[in-house]
Copies of this chain bind each other. A is one copy, B any other.
Amino acid sequence: MSDLLWPGDERAGTLFDARSMVEGMVALEAAWSSGLVDHGLAPADAAVTSAELEALVTAADLDGLALAAEGGGNPVIPLLHVLRTRLVAADRTEAARWLHRGLTSQDVVDTAVVLCCATALRRLEIEFSSQVDALTALADAHRGTLMVGRTLTQHAVPTTFGAKAAGWLAGVVDARATAVFAHSVLPVQLGGAAGTLAGTVELARLRGVRDPVRTTVALTDEVAAALGLQASPPWHTSRFPLTRVGDALATATSAFGHIASDVVTLTRPEIREVGEPTAPGRGGSSTMPQKQNPVLAVLVRRAVITNPGLAATLHTAAGLANDERPDGAWHAEWATLRDLARRTVVAAAHTTELVRGLRVDAAGMVARARAADGLLAERDAVHALLDEPAPTAPGSDDPSSYLGVIDPIVDRRITP
């Protein structure tokens, strides 16, 4: 995927694209069919593999699936139609007959969405890991690089660039922990028509299974394990696995935005204390060849403006969930999560590149701090408090003498 209106979108690769969703949907159908067979609920030749089902759906089918999804409101009916038709054509009649038995469309779509979320969170973890390394190195290397502290845009007291990088790191570490947790509790969705799995229990009963209920529960737990997801009672209308992912993505976006919001200031020509990494074709203008725009930071900031609203949409949907399947709230989630996940991954990749290649003008930072007015006014007030005159000895106007607890701050932030 690429998107002319969201430059950089291709960095999210195939995440949540139609093919990925189909792969997620057939992964559930396949795991379920195997489970039915394993427990003797379906005949042995009812079992299908994910690979077998994937092979039945070609790129040329995807548009048709999307078109036909409108009828039932989701893509499962047309996907099943394609799969069954082709299974029959391939002499896999039993597989066709047994496909999806006991499931409902929401089981299939939700599990596919969850698997795509897992992919997003794995991808984010790679970016977080790189960012933590790069920011740790920046914070450590520049813990003593004197810099003007700025509050409400104005010069305040001295700080160091290492302290700033440690603050950036704090957000990334928080966002990473949030994402790791959301990832660790991603559940499979298996509930059947109205969340009772009654069809499967009935099958087991007709098959003469000794404890149909226990067997069905065991089956769902095994399917969860096979997909690398948590077992769970159905959550057709308890949408918190998804809001948890959404909040993690919004948190990540804000952590990246924090960095980018500093960078757009610090790269201004009047300040120029940091520079974005350069690359061929990066940061150019259509008419002004001399320009070098901080385009990575700019693109990250765009996500700060769009993503929180998407995460909020998931909460609204969760709060409007009703009946045993919601009447619109469910359908609002899929594209919202896709857009939120892709944009967060893209922003993550931009941020990784930004922090790994950040050019730091340490000398310029120090020079500005040394030249700034009033940076030591607070220090002088402290001296006055103790009835000591403001220091006048040589070096007493050196802002690097007034740096407080930067080392412990940096150490606490960079220590995992």
Which residues of chain B are near A302, meaning CB under 8 Å? 328-329, 331-332
Given A304-B320, A319-B253, A374-B290; A7-B382 close (CB under 8 Å): no
Which residues of chain B are near A395, meaning CB under 8 Å? none
> Can you list, as one digit per residue, whether each of A256-291 has a CB less than 8 Å from chain B (1) or not (0)?
111011101101111100000001111111111111
Are B159 and A72 in touch, CB under 8 angstroms? no
Tell whether A118 is near chain B: CB-to-CB under 8 Å.
no
Are A100 and B308 in touch, CB under 8 angstroms? no
Given A321-B261, A404-B201; A70-B8 close (CB under 8 Å): yes
Are A157 and B377 in touch, CB under 8 angstroms? no
CB < 8 Å neighbour of A153 from B70, B200, B267, B381:
B267
Q: For chain A, which range describes its interface: under 10, 10 to 19, 20 to 34, or 35 or more residues?
A: 35 or more
Tell whether A228 is near chain B: CB-to-CB under 8 Å.
no
Interface SS of chain A: helix
Distance between Cα atoms of A103 and B379 in the complex (Å):
13
Specify which of A10, A199, A236 lies most central, judged by the most chain B CB atoms within 10 Å of its CB: A199
Are A288 and B405 in touch, CB under 8 angstroms? no
Are B257 and A287 in touch, CB under 8 angstroms? no
Which residues of chain B are near A315, meaning CB under 8 Å? 250-251, 253-254, 304, 307-308, 311
Distance between Cα atoms of A163 and B325 in the complex (Å):
13
Tell whether A71 is near chain B: CB-to-CB under 8 Å.
yes
- A164 to chain B: closest residue by CB: B324
Task: Give min CB distance, A186 to chain B, whole Å.
Answer: 13
Given A174-B238, A313-B305, A323-B262; A62-B4 close (CB under 8 Å): yes
Distance between Cα atoms of A21 and B282 in the complex (Å):
22
Which residues of chain B are near A320, meaning CB under 8 Å? 257, 261, 301, 304-305, 320
- A215 to chain B: closest residue by CB: B405
Task: Give min CB distance, A102 to chain B, whole Å.
Answer: 8
Stretch of A47-55, A73-81, A122-130, A354-362 that contacts chain B = A73-81
Are A283 and B72 in touch, CB under 8 angstroms? yes
- A231 to chain B: closest residue by CB: B412
Extra contacts besides A8-B69, A98-B385, A152-B294 (19): CB < 8 Å: A72-B284, A73-B295, A77-B284, A105-B285, A106-B151, A153-B265, A153-B293, A154-B267, A167-B238, A171-B238, A193-B378, A198-B404, A201-B403, A213-B408, A239-B254, A305-B320, A308-B312, A308-B319, A309-B313
